Structure 1
Amino acid sequence: MSDRHTEELADPARRARGMGGSVRRWWRQSDQFDWFTVYLRDRGLQRQWRLATFGFTAVLAALPIVLLGSPVGPDHTLTRAVAVTSAATGAGASVLWLRRWPTRNQSMIFNAVCSLSIAAMCLAMSNPYNGLMGCTLFAAVGGFLAYFHALSHMLVNLLVAMLCSAITAARLLGESGDVSLTVAALLTVVALNVGVPFGIESLVHTLRTDLRNSDRDPLTGLLDRRGFYHAVHELAVNRPDGICLNVTMLDLDDFKKVNDTHGHAAGDDVLVNVAVVLRHTCRADAVLCRLGGEEFVIADTDGPAKHAATVERLRREIVTVPFGVTASFGTCTVTADPGSARDHPRFVDRLIEVADAAMYRAKRAGGDQIHHRHLD
C-alpha cells in the first residue's frame, strides 16, 4: 500500500480524533460567570444588564397572577396556590438584580428558582396547550445560563424543560386527541429550548476566545496587562478556600545594556526567549504576562514549596538566554481565604504591588535573586 493511500486512510481517523477532542473541550469548558462579569464591568454595562434582567424576570413573575383571571389558567385551589407561590418566588428572585450584581452562587440560585417557577406555572394550567406553550419560557433561562454559566447547567435546565413539556404534551394529547397540534407545539418548544441557548453559547464561546487572543502581547504571545487582570480575577474567584494564589514579578537586570550594545532586535530576541522559558517552566494553567518593557508577571496556584522551586528553576533557566541576562524576582503569596477581598476591583493590583516591591528589593540587593512576600 502506498504512503499516499495510507495517509488518506489516516486522515478521517485524525479528523475524528480532532472532532472528539473539540467536543471534550466544549463539554469541559468552565463556568463563564466571572469573565463575563468582568467583561460587562469594564465596559460599564452591568447596570443595564441588572435592570434588564430585573424587568424581564418581574414581568414573567406577573404572568401567573394575570392568568388567575383566565378560564384557561389555574382553576383549582391547589393550582392557584402553586401559581401564587410561583409568582412570589419569581418576584423575589428579580429583586436580587435590582439591588446589586450577584455572586456566582446567587446567580445559580436565581436560575434554579426561575426554572422551577416556570415548571410550576406550566403544570398548573388547566388548559394543557397553554401549559405546553409556556415551556418556551425555559429558553430564556437557558439563554441566561449560556451567557454566564457552564454547559452542564444548560443541560439541567433543558432536562427540566423537556420533562415539563412531555407531561403537558401527554395531557394535551389525552384531552384533545389532536396528534398534529400536540406534535407541532412540542416541536416548537424543543426548537426554542435547544436553538436559543446553544446559539448563544456558541456566540459567547467565540467571543471569549477572540477576547483572549486580542489581549496578548504581539512580540511574545503572552497576555498583556488587561488580559492578565481578567485571567487572574477568574483564577482568584475560582480558587477553593485554603489554596495558594501566587503572583511573581520578574524584571530583567541591566536589559538596557543589551539594547545599547547589540541593538533592539537582539533585545526583542531576549524577550521572546524569556517568554519561551516561562512557557516551558511554569505549569500549564499558569497565567503568563508581559507587563511591558522587560517586566513579566506570573500567577499560579501552586503550594509554597512547589512555587518556590518553580521560581528558582526560572531564575536558573533565564541565565541560559542569549546575551547572558539575569532577572530579579519578587513573589507574593495569599494562602488564607481573603473572602470578599478577592471580588474587590483592586485585589489583583494589591498582589502585583506587593510582588513588585519584593522584586525591587531583589534588584537593589544585586539582582539575579528572589524575594518572597506573604500577603495576609
Structure 2
Amino acid sequence: MTGYVFVGLFTGFAAAMTAFWLTRWPTRRQSALTMSAGILLISAWSVVQPSSALAVLGCTATTVTGGYVAFFHSLRLLVFNFCVALATAVAACWRLGAETNLATAFAAFGVIVFLNASVPLAIAGATRALGTYAMRSDVDPLTGLLNRRGFTDVLLRRLERDTPAGDDLVVAMVDLDGFKSLNDSRGHAAGDRALRAVGELLVQAGPPGSAVCRAGGEEFLVAAIGSAETIEGDVHRLCEHIAELPHHVTASVGISTAALAQLPGDDGSPQIDQLIENADSAMYVAKRNGGNRVHRA
C-alpha cells in the first residue's frame, strides 16, 4: 500500500513540475526546491519497493536530477543529490545481496555509483566549457572589454539585484576625437595601442563598479549605478584623463540617465537600448561643439 502512495505522490509531483516548466521557467530558488523534493521522492520510492531489483533500478533515476543540478545549480546541491543516491543505493543493494548474492549486489552498486558520478560530472564539465565559450563571445578581442551584447547582459544582471531605490543608471558613450588622423598618420598599430590604453583607463579610473564596453571602432560605453551627479563627475574626470594619454586623442562623451525606479523589473533591455541611443545623441552634440567635452542628454 505504501508503494502505491509513493507512486501516486511521485506521479503527481512529476506532472505538476512538467506543467509548471511548460508554462513558465522557474526562478533559481523554485528550481532548487523542486529538485530537492524530487531527489527525496526518488529515494523514498526506491526504499519502499517490495522488489529489491526495482529498488536498485529506482536509484538510477537520480542521474536525471543530478544532470539537471549540474547544469543549472551549485556544487552543494549536486553533492546532496549524490549523497542521497549513495545512501539509497546502499539500502537497495543490501537487500539485493540478501536476495541474490554479494557479487550481484556489488556490481549493481558499482553501476549506480558510476552513473550518478559520471553523468553529472560530464554535464558540469560541458557547462563550464560552454560558459567559457560564452564569456569569450561577450569580450572584445582587442581590448579585452565587454562587447555590446556582453555589456547589455551585465547590466541586466545588475539590475536584477536589490539596489537602493534612489539610485540611477547612468550610461556614457565615449567617442575618441582624432582617432582617424592617428590611424592615417601613425598606422593601425598605433590606433590599436590607443584603443587598449583608453579601455584600460576606463576600467581603472571609471566610476566604481562600472561596466565598460567597446561598442565598436573608437567608441566605448561606460555604465554605472549610483548617484547620477557623482557618476557624471567621474565621467568628466575620465574625459580629462583620456586627453592626458600619450596617444594624441581626446574624447567626446554623451551621458544619459534613468532612475532605477522607472525601469521595469522583468526585462530592461529596451530601456538600456534607449539610454545608449540617448547617450549616443548627446555624444554627437559634444563632438559638434568641438570635442574633448561631456554633454548630458
Q: Same fold (TM over 0.5)?
A: yes
Equivalent position of 1:341 in the other structure: 267
2:162 paired with 1:240: yes
TM-superposed CA distance for 1:357, in Å, is 4.3
**Bigger strand share:** 2
Query: SS at 1:339's partner residue?
Result: coil
TM-superposed CA distance for 1:120, in Å, is 3.0
Q: Select which of 62, 65, 75 maps to 1:151.
A: 75
1:92 partner amino acid? A
CA distance in 2, matches of 1:276, 1:206: 27
Give the total of aligned pairs.
293
2:121 partner amino acid? F
TM-superposed CA distance for 1:317, in Å, is 2.1
2:191 paired with 1:287: no
Equivalent position of 1:203 in the other structure: 126
Spell out, residue by residue over 1:31-72, the C-alpha distance to the aligned partner (whole angstroms, 9 max, x if none).
Answer: xxxxxxxxxxxxxxxxxxxxxxxxxxxxxxxxxxxxxxxxxx
Alpha carbons of structure 1 residues 346 and 104: separation in structure 2 relative to 1, 3 Å: farther
Q: Select which of 226, 244, 251 maps to 1:326.
A: 251
Query: SS at 1:338's partner residue?
Result: coil
TM-superposed CA distance for 1:241, in Å, is 4.7
CA distance in 2, matches of 1:119, 1:310: 57
TM-superposed CA distance for 1:372, in Å, is 5.8
When normalised by structure 1's length, the TM-score is: 0.66
Check conservation: 2:228, 2:257, Cα contact below 8 A.
no
* Higher RCO (C-alpha under 8 Å, 6+ residues apart): 2
TM-superposed CA distance for 1:249, in Å, is 2.4
Equivalent position of 2:85 in the other structure: 161
Query: SS at 2:212's partner residue?
Result: strand
CA distance in 2, matches of 1:263, 1:180: 74
CA distance in 2, matches of 1:186, 1:306: 62
2:143 paired with 1:217: no
TM-superposed CA distance for 1:315, in Å, is 2.5
Equivalent position of 1:350 in the other structure: 274
CA distance in 1, matches of 2:39, 2:103: 28
Unaligned runs of 5+ in 1: 1-75
TM-superposed CA distance for 1:269, in Å, is 2.8
Check conservation: 2:211, 2:224, Cα contact below 8 A.
yes
Spell out, residue by residue over 1:310-369, the C-alpha distance to the aligned partner (whole angstroms, 9 max, x if none).
Answer: 434423321222214134141435533732134xx5354234234434544554565444
CA distance in 1, matches of 2:271, 2:91: 49
Query: SS at 1:126's partner residue?
Result: coil
Unaligned runs of 5+ in 2: none
Misfit runs of 4+, over 6 Å: none
